[in-house]
Amino acid sequence: MLVLGRSQVEALLDTDTLIDALASAMADLSAGRASAPDRVAALVPERDGFLTAMPGFVPSAGVLMSKLLTLFPHNAGTPLPTHQALIVVFDPDTGEPAALLDGTAITTARTGACSALSARLLAREDASVLAVLGTGEQARSHAAAMCRVRPIRQIRVAGRDRAKATALAGQLSAELQVDARAAATYAEALDGADIAAATTHATDPVIRRAWLTPGVHVTSVGFNPDGREIDDATVAEALVCVESRQAALAPFPAGSSDLLNPIRDGVITEEHVHAELGELIAGSKPGRSSRDQITLYKSVGVAVQDAAAAALVVAAARKQSVGTEIRLA
């Protein structure tokens, strides 16, 4: 069995290739060719954390895998990330374990890349101002991936800690060669933004309709069962797209409170969810209808994304003879 650590996974993943692979995986999921059951979780109430399992099979990519992911929000501000994961890849013909990968890097990369895929499908072609809400690894991943699909010339970073926002803006300026700056508030970052990437663990919405410019494309990947990233007014007005209706509208730990709460409160119905990304890719559902339309991609994360990324990493590792082979028996 091939074993790959975090730095190896990061070196083997190419963002452009990953975005294209995710497009194929999302199309497979919407067409019923891929399998990704709702995730299940073991709760750790005293730490407000949980361990979740996410199995997936993508036949077009020839990959069968499962991810084990922990979410421990109290790790914020410590050397440990809030999300940590392992991925096990199995031979889809025999079921034999084939590879063990760090899943933390894959989770970060595939989440940012799928948000970028949504921007490629829904954001205006000339979108050039990006607001990044949050200052963690997902914020960095989203900024880098968005620059691959739209001509981003300015990035505004906002978070609860202005010093962290300033530090991240400096890093993004150097790494991406764009004008990146810290904003004092979420509202300031969003003012005039063409794309807004919310990557927080917010309790109260960081995306509010009053702060948004007409035509903005919003991506939201934050997960907090006790909170929201997006206010009702934005959800109600936006063209809403998801990875999977089944996953987004499922109960905890699979679904999104950003959608389930307004459905519960009668603000919207389930039919308000316009399309899955795979349906946009296949052309069975239309995308943006006007320059001023607000579009929203609400992500909950599905296993086919991890499967697509893991398949790329394992293939590249075997081609480049990277990693360590071990025997379990």
Checking if the pLDDT of 116 tops 90, the result is yes
Checking if the pLDDT of 60 tops 90, the result is no
Find the helix or strand (DSSP H, E) in which 51 lies: strand 49-58
The contacts of residue 161 (CB under 8 Å, 6+ apart) are 135
pLDDT at position 77: 79
User: For residues 225 and 152, which has the higher predicted lDDT (pLDDT)?
Assistant: 152
Catalogue all structural domains in the chain, each as residue range(s) with its CATH number: 2-106+304-325 (3.30.1780.10), 124-301 (3.40.50.720)
Checking if the pLDDT of 65 tops 80, the result is yes
Cα separation, 291 vs 186, in Å, equals 23
Q: And the tokens for 229?
A: 């990233």
Edge-first strand order for the sheet with 83-90 is 40-44, 49-58, 63-71, 83-90, 97-102, 2-4, 324-325
pLDDT at position 250: 94
pLDDT at position 15: 97
Instruction: Name the 3-class secondary structure at 184.
Output: coil
pLDDT at position 226: 82
Cα separation, 107 vs 247, in Å, equals 17
pLDDT category at 329 given cuts 50, 70, 90 is confident
Share of the chain above pLDDT 90, in %: 91
- Residue 121's nearest CA partner among 15, 242, 232, 249 is 242
pLDDT at position 6: 96
pLDDT at position 253: 84
Residue 219: what residue type?
A: T
pLDDT at position 280: 98
Phi-psi region of 158 (alpha: psi -120 to 50; beta: other; left: phi over 0): beta
| pTM attached to this predicted model | 0.96
Cα separation, 189 vs 212, in Å, equals 10
pLDDT digit string, tens, across residues 3-13: 999 999 999 99
